[in-house]
Chain A
Amino acid sequence: MMDALDDADALEIERALREDHEGLCHAAHLPDAGLVWWRATIRARADAARIAEHPIAVAHSIAGACVVALACALGALAWRTMPELILQNAVPLVAALALCLLVAPLAVILALAKD
């Protein structure tokens, strides 16, 4: 008795689901295969470009850190070897440093804009 009921359920469900599926398939407004392919290609290229650019960004960061470290090291060396000279020319040195800090980001922005 239970088996018969279960079979009836199974048949009813199968029929309902198939009707539902057919109705959905019939009404689906699908994009053309070419459009799906084109979008996938564009996205794959974007992903490839992002992956390719990642090591470059890392290298830029490392190079920037190296430049800052080198500048600090040179500054410390200069301070140790000739502190009087630095103190005498403190104003022009600070001005030059400030100018560099202003100009460097502008140069980076201009270089990237050209690319």
Chain B
Amino acid sequence: MRDLTVDEIARLGALPAEADEPFHMTEEAFRVLYERTARSLWAYLARMTGDARLADDLLQETYYRFLKSSATLESDDHRKNYLFRIATNVAHDARRSSRADGADNSDVRAPGDVAELAARRVDVGRALARMKPRDRALVWLAYVNGSSHKEIADTLGLKPSSIKLMLFRARRRLAALLHEGSR
């Protein structure tokens, strides 16, 4: 996204009153949702893209799309699942555009202060990076988020009946990659 100039921001400040509240939720409600979901969402984006810096940008994009959407979401769980669905699409778009640019997103940041844990995370990061994007999302949603098969299907746009088998295969693949990496 192009950065706005100071002039453009000043001009936007002079827009009519209906532009003051462009979203379906208040800032206070957004803060609560953000505190509850941002870390988990960032971790998901970081692993889906394999690029921590890109995840920073995509986090902003995900919340922007969420705020602009007109979907009616009854509970916090619905909102969280919807956020992850948007994040999946955003990561997919980023992957497509980086493929078009020929960019290399292999910058997997391995933060942390305990060397062993960091090494393990790098292993997991590398193993996930070698999986298909859909399989990566499947195992993450199932084992990190604890999503049900139906929720996973909703998030990834798949049939709920096919999740069990796909998850089984993805898990096998990840296990093999982790074992391969630990040898």
B27 to chain A, nearest CB (A): 5
5 contacts between A and B (CB under 8 A): A20-B120, A20-B124, A23-B117, A40-B64, A46-B12
A33-B30, A43-B64 as given contacts; A17 in contact with B143, CB under 8 Å: yes
Write the nearest CB–CB distance from A105 to chain B, whole angstroms: 22
Chain B residues with CB below 8 A from A13, complex form? 139, 143, 171, 174-175, 178
A60: chain B residues at CB < 8 Å are: none
**Which residues in window 50-72 of B have CB below 8 A to A?**
56, 59-60, 63-64, 67-68
A37 to B59, CA, bound (A): 12
* Residue pair B47, A24 in contact (C-beta under 8 Å): yes
Establish whether residues B118 and A24, one from each chain, have CB atoms under 8 Å apart when the complex forms.
Answer: no
Q: What is the number of contacts between chain A and chain B, taking CB atoms within 8 Å?
A: 123
Q: Give B contacts to A, CB under 8 Å.
A: 1, 4, 8-9, 11-12, 15, 19, 22-23, 27, 30-31, 34-35, 38-40, 42-43, 46-47, 56, 59-60, 63-64, 67-68, 109, 111-112, 117-118, 120-121, 123-125, 139-140, 143-144, 168, 171-172, 174-175, 178
Within 8 Å of chain B (Cβ to Cβ): is A28? Answer: yes
Interface flags for A7-40 (1: CB within 8 Å of B; 0: not) read: 0011011101111110111111011011011011
Would you call B4 and A42 a contact (CB within 8 A)?
Answer: yes
CB-contact partner of B31 in A27, A33, A43, under 8 A: A33
A48 CB-CB contact with B under 8 Å:
yes
Q: Which residue of B lies closest to A38 (CB)?
A: B27
Please, which residue of chain B has its CB at the minimum distance from the CB of A25? B39
Q: Are the C-beta atoms of A18 and B68 separated by less than 8 Å?
A: no
Which residue on A lies nearest to B117, using beta carbons?
A: A23
**Chain A residues, CB < 8 A from B46:** 24, 28
Closest A residue by C-beta to B35: A33
B111 nearest in chain A by CB position: A27
A44 within 8 A of B: yes
* Residue from A19, A33, A39 within 8 A of B38 (CB atoms): A33
Are the C-beta atoms of A19 and B144 separated by less than 8 Å? Answer: no
Q: Which residue of chain B has the shortest Cβ distance to A45 in the bound complex?
A: B12
Point out the residues of chain A lying under 8 angstroms from B34, CB to CB.
33, 36-37
Contact of A17 among B1, B64, B144 (CB under 8 A): B144
Minimal beta-carbon separation of A15 from chain B (angstroms): 9
By a CB distance below 8 angstroms, the chain A residues around B8 are: 46
- Check if A27 sits within 8 Å of B112, measured CB to CB: yes
Asked whether A21 lies within 8 Å of B60 as measured between CB atoms, the reply is no
| B67 contacts across to A, CB distance below 8 A | 40, 44
Q: Cβ of A17: which chain B residues have Cβ within 8 Å of it?
A: 124, 139-140, 143-144
Q: Confirm or deny: A41 has a beta carbon within 8 angstroms of a beta carbon on chain B.
A: yes
Among candidates B12, B42, B125, residue contacting A20 with C-beta atoms closer than 8 Å = B125
A45–B16 Cα gap in the complex (Å)? 10
